[in-house]
Structure 1
Amino acid sequence: MSDANARLTVALLAVPESTASTLYGMYDVLASAGRDWDFLVAGRPGQSLIRPLIVSADGRGFRAVSGLRVEPECALDACPAVDVVAIPDLMVAPEEELSGRYTAEVEWLRQRYAAGATLAAACSGALVLAEAGLLDGQDSTTHWGYCEAMAARYPKTRVHPNRALVISGEGRLILGGGGTSWQDVTLFLIARFLGTEEAMRVARLHLVNWHDVGQQPYAALTRGRQVEDALIAKCQEWIALHYDEDTPVAAMARLSGLPERSFKRRFARATGMSPIAYVHTLRLEESKHVLETTELPIDAVANEVGYEDASFFGRLFRRQVGLTPAQYRKRFGALRRVLEQGERRAPAAPPRGRLAS
């Protein structure tokens, strides 16, 4: 390890688009390794086994996108030798152009990787590694909302949308998926360098749950797809209300006034999906809501969203969502109930613009 006390040094790369909660969350969890367990159970603080460092291109303070002030500890050219570089997630749009934005950071990452450092990225932070070319020919992941754009912009990387954690580059590239995947990345780093037992202590301290089911159950199957074709947009609006029709594709074709074969080609060209795949995503998204909010039997849920064959619905749901309908209901129905109870018990909010007395 890289300093005199044999502590693991982890540089946290900060840019103006960094999410401050992830940046400082990673900092605090890493710094707690070796230090806080003994303090909690024996009343005496231990020695932190990790030295986290916030670094930025010029080392100057800035306001992150949330408005929180970030004070880096050093500039890239003054950063000491590090064992690990971690990149928190970025508040950028999935389609946003990043080319040329992080020139200094990209070059520094290449140098650190060539020097033997392990590189880790949480969520959309993976885009910076991709911009550096370090994911070329490698398996990768990022937040499910960014996967399509990342695969299109960086076609040399193999993007796995369903996985919450990907280890690549002979073990020196570690990528987490969704927003709180920084916890998975951080625990993995602690386990890799300090051992499983220390990682388990940290997980217990911070009540961290491993995202063992991946990203699929959390993903919105239907995401906004820009459609410039007004005719297809009209069909999309119609199917959003009539997805449970018996023959939805034929119905959309009739609405379009096109022969069915021509309609299918035009729909796929406009949306990137076949009409029937689009219908399935709408139905499954609605079924998730029904499973969360009702106690309807699974076959009734299937029928509610347009499937007469409940077994087909179950297989399709499992393939697309990563859980069976019953498993999804157990995981997310319980969460919704707890949140709704909290909402009902909350005191009424004061009128906007008025201070509470």
Structure 2
Amino acid sequence: MVPVRRIVIAVFPEVDLLDVTGPAEVFALANRVTSGQAGYEVQLAGPAAGPVRTFAGVRVLADVAFADIGPGLDTLLVPGAVDMTDAGPVALVDPAVVAWVLETASRSRRVASVCVGAHLLAAAGLLDGKTATTHWSTAAQLAAEHPEVTVDPDPIFVRADHGRLWTGAGISACLDLALALVAEDLGEQTALAVARQLVVYLKRQGGQSQFSVPLSMPAARRDIDALREWIGDHLDRDLAAPALAARMCLSERHFARVFRQETGMTPAAYVEAARVELARRLLETTDEPLDRVAANAGLGSAETLHRAFRRRLATTPAAYRRRFRTAA
């Protein structure tokens, strides 16, 4: 008899739809590719059984009320909800949901949050003394409200407490988190088979960044946004600060001050980060030699590429390619 792995996903008003349906689809596909041997059984639990309106306006159906969950949970999956304010998204924390999460976590083998669901885990005290991630746009809120939690806004997901506690990053990273849970349960080959069914090019590892360099901090000035777009299209050009300042018709000193104010990075750091990001994509998707990758990314030489990877990713280009190269 196939052992049942019972997955309970919390749903409540304004919950993010993909945070619920993405992981559910991953577990369903794991059952399919293993001909049912994975044994995943997914239930949606809400304040009451019945329809729940998501942030997208689509209603999902809670199979069971929070109060009727009972024992025997393998994994408790907690998505989140946000309030879109003029200052940006603010994670919503419902005390009733927090209380249920705290009580139910004690009866679960494993607890995972998706996106801003980390705020619910933190409010329940489950992240105290641990490192966690969340959607980058609410990371500052999580850190401010819960100083006892070490918030890392960059990774796609964080595994803590010997695999008993997981936190995932924003929106589509729910697929990466769920694939990681499948890999831990059933092995990498099964997880990769599910990723292929999802037409996911790369089953990303938790240490990868959850956002790209151009989106890291939107600029208020249109000319800076236009410059960043131009930089991304011309990474093989001279992108030193004097050349960029001349393009903006600003003094080098004034340009450096404005650029850092708008992006949170120095021009040199931004350019290097953008070049490393392009190099990462080339390493993931091509078999070009390292000197060619370096040249195409504007880093000049394999030695410069190596130094930039060490500085920004704490690994080497060759090691990165071995880990993340996408099969042709």
TM surpasses 0.5: yes
State the SS of the aligned residue for 2:214. coil
Measured in 2, the distance between the counterparts of 1:313 and 1:24 equals 39
| Counterpart position of 1:36 | 36
The structure with more strand, counted as a fraction of residues: 2
| Counterpart position of 2:65 | 75
Measured in 2, the distance between the counterparts of 1:264 and 1:56 equals 51
Within-5 A mapping of 1:1-357: 10-15=7-12, 16-19=15-18, 20-25=20-25, 28=28, 36-37=36-37, 52-62=42-52, 70-81=60-71, 83-87=73-77, 95-100=88-93, 102-113=94-105, 118-123=110-115, 125-130=117-122, 132=124, 134-142=126-134, 146=135, 148-155=136-143, 156=147, 157-160=149-152, 163=155, 165-168=157-160, 172-176=164-168, 178-180=173-175, 181-188=177-184, 191=185, 199-200=186-187, 204=190, 207-208=193-194, 213-216=205-208, 220-223=212-215, 225-230=217-222, 232-288=224-280, 290=282, 296-317=288-309, 319-320=311-312, 324=317, 328=321, 331-332=324-325, 334-335=327-328
Measured in 2, the distance between the counterparts of 1:306 and 1:187 equals 36
State the SS of the aligned residue for 1:111. helix
- Which consecutive unaligned segments of at least 5 residues does structure 1 have? 1-5, 39-47, 192-198, 336-357
Q: Using a 3 Å threshold, how does the CA distance of structure 1 residues 291 and 36 change in structure 2: closer, same or farther? A: closer
Is residue 232–residue 267 contact of structure 1 (8 Å, CA) maintained in 2?
yes
1:122 CA displacement:
4.0
Is residue 55–residue 73 contact of structure 1 (8 Å, CA) maintained in 2?
yes
What residue identity is the alignment partner of 1:99?
A: L
Across the aligned residues of Structure 1 and Structure 2, the Cα RMSD in angstroms comes to 4.4
Give % identity.
Answer: 25
Measured in 2, the distance between the counterparts of 1:206 and 1:234 equals 38
Whichever of the two has the greater Rg, that structure is 1
**Cα deviations across residues 85-141 of structure 1 (Å, max 9, x unaligned)?**
5226568699522234x4432231133346777422245543442455543432113
Q: Using a 3 Å threshold, how does the CA distance of structure 1 residues 130 and 26 change in structure 2: closer, same or farther? A: farther
Measured in 1, the distance between the counterparts of 2:294 and 2:192 equals 39
Measured in 1, the distance between the counterparts of 2:68 and 2:109 equals 16
Measured in 1, the distance between the counterparts of 2:189 and 2:115 equals 19
State the SS of the aligned residue for 2:215. coil
Q: Using a 3 Å threshold, how does the CA distance of structure 1 residues 212 and 91 change in structure 2: closer, same or farther? A: same
1:299 CA displacement:
1.5
1:28 CA displacement:
3.9
TM-score (norm 1): 0.65
What residue identity is the alignment partner of 1:185?
A: L
Measured in 1, the distance between the counterparts of 2:286 and 2:204 equals 26
- Which consecutive unaligned segments of at least 5 residues does structure 2 have? 196-201
Bigger Cα displacement from structure 2, 163-172 vs 279-288: 163-172
1:55 CA displacement:
0.6
Measured in 2, the distance between the counterparts of 1:66 and 1:124 equals 16
1:212 CA displacement:
7.6
Q: Using a 3 Å threshold, how does the CA distance of structure 1 residues 170 and 296 change in structure 2: closer, same or farther? A: closer
Measured in 2, the distance between the counterparts of 1:9 and 1:301 equals 45
TM-score (norm 2): 0.70
Q: Using a 3 Å threshold, how does the CA distance of structure 1 residues 257 and 28 change in structure 2: closer, same or farther? A: closer
1:311 CA displacement:
1.0
Bigger Cα displacement from structure 2, 323-332 vs 257-266: 323-332
Q: Using a 3 Å threshold, how does the CA distance of structure 1 residues 262 and 63 change in structure 2: closer, same or farther? A: same
**Cα deviations across residues 202-239 of structure 1 (Å, max 9, x unaligned)?**
96498357958434288634325321135534543443
State the SS of the aligned residue for 2:97. helix
What residue identity is the alignment partner of 2:44?
A: I
1:75 CA displacement:
1.2
What residue identity is the alignment partner of 1:18?
A: L
**Cα deviations across residues 336-355 of structure 1 (Å, max 9, x unaligned)?**
xxxxxxxxxxxxxxxxxxxx
